[in-house]
Amino acid sequence: MKSLRLSLAVVLVSFSTLAFAQSKAAAPQSDAQKSFTVLKSLAGTWQGAASTEPKMSDEGGPVLVTMRVTSRGNALAHEMKDAKASDDPNKFDHPLTTFYLENDRLMLTHYCDAGNRPRMVARTSPDGKKVEFDFLDVSGSTKYGHMQHAVFTVIDQDHHTEDWTYLMPGDKPMHAHLDLQRTK
């Protein structure tokens, strides 16, 4: 009788585990999960032109963006640099941005060359091709300004744009637009 009860308990636990796994797999994706999937589809190497408002003297030079999925699919790393500059991050701008899910929100943390780390939370367009990030908070000094807003727009699998807004000291916005083509 004890072995029958033990067998029954094992079977019930097995069925409940299976049912839980199926219900979890069948659950529809949240908007945050859908947006994260869209951004992860951009993994690769991208190159294109950057323009700024107000205009900068070195505007229009090629920018290189590398995006890679990491941490077993739980994060997307985004690195940006001037395509003509060396890889020395001590001499040239080379910001790193990470994207990740935090509960039911898609988050961005931008490790800025200004020495701070703003966090932003995503909003998704109805068609799912645009992911917009709004400022949430910042760690570190904002003496030299901080990143305030970002928008990623997927044109197709080999073309996307990025729009970044940086708040300079005195809360003067600087906008950068990157028009990027996939190279790998």
Give dist(CA 143, CA 153) in Å, integer.
30
Give dist(CA 65, CA 53) in Å, integer.
20
Q: Quick: pLDDT tens for 40-50.
A: 999 999 999 99
Tell me if 70 sits within 8 A of 77, measured CB to CB: yes
Residue 137 pLDDT > 80, yes or no? yes
* DSSP β-bridge partners for residue 111: 96
At 24, the pLDDT band (50, 70, 90 cuts) reads low
Tell me if 93 sits within 8 A of 113, measured CB to CB: yes
Give dist(CA 109, CA 117) in Å, integer.
6
Fold of 29-182: Lipocalin (2.40.128)
Q: Quick: pLDDT tens for 90-105.
A: 666 779 999 999 999 9
Tokens 């917009």, residue?
132
Mode of pairing for the β-strands spanning 130-139 and 105-111: unpaired
Residue 150 pLDDT > 60, yes or no? yes
At 66, the pLDDT band (50, 70, 90 cuts) reads very high
Q: Quick: pLDDT tens for 99-131.
A: 999 999 999 999 999 999 999 999 988 788 999
More confident residue, 91 or 7: 91
* Domain definitions of the chain by residue range: 29-182
**What's the pTM?**
0.81
Give dist(CA 62, CA 51) in Å, integer.
10
pLDDT at 83: 80
